[in-house]
Structure 1
């Protein structure tokens, strides 16, 4: 799958960080363009999924002209591999996720120098067990190496490099179906 996009937005709305409570302001016109690609290969006993995106999102007019848009999709790459066993009742796998450099711009000072956070990489593992037709158990560990990072899609990302992204996270889900 391959997607190419180019979007021009008139009167782009962003959050005004200069007032409390926070409000929305028009920061000018914006342009978002990029490419996204995904490849999936599924075979009887497993699968591989490769996905990536290169995105350029900027303000193109107004006082913030030339600055990157905050809270937009980022350059990223992911690779997921999974294996099926026990007659396809158990699936185990791992995912590698790499997010490119993040540019955070100031909406309180148009002349401020943008802050660039380093790229980061995360590794996640998962297992899904279909116990029977009515019961499923899912287990996962996200960020198994406990990498410190700033989540670029959070409100904190525009104000400080707080490294508040999720640390090592354990997830368990039991899903059951009652009746037919």
Structure 2
């Protein structure tokens, strides 16, 4: 477990799968997360997806918990030990916890974990250009925009920019 002031990052358990299924069927949450267009997901498909994700050694997946409540998930994916890189992803599924610093703290804890425990030197992410709240949060953690693919993804009935951001371990201030 990784414990912060607002959130705890812990292992995802099968008991989390029903709530994850709720999150994955929330169109607003899924559109913010980017990726493939939202589609209905059953408990069985969510269970299969996360069971496979948790078995893959190149991924580290965590539940985000606040005050004992499971509010979302995050992780490091496509970890490349040779090059010291990994992709980060986060989703706050509980609307009551959006825009209140929970995601930012979870991201801060996660990148610190990736740098210190897995010797990553660069952590990167992709997000939709219209997800301004996420981009502000990522910048507050230290991520910088590395590039933008214009009108690259179809989301919510329109084409959106795909924003590429990264954070290097050496760019973090000491003591963080």
Interval containing the TM-score (normalised by the shorter chain):
under 0.3
Indicate the structure whose relative CO is greater, using CA pairs within 8 Å and at least 6 residues apart.
2
Name the larger-Rg structure: 1
Please identify which structure carries the higher strand content.
Answer: 1
TM-score after normalising by structure 1: 0.27
Higher relative helix content: 2
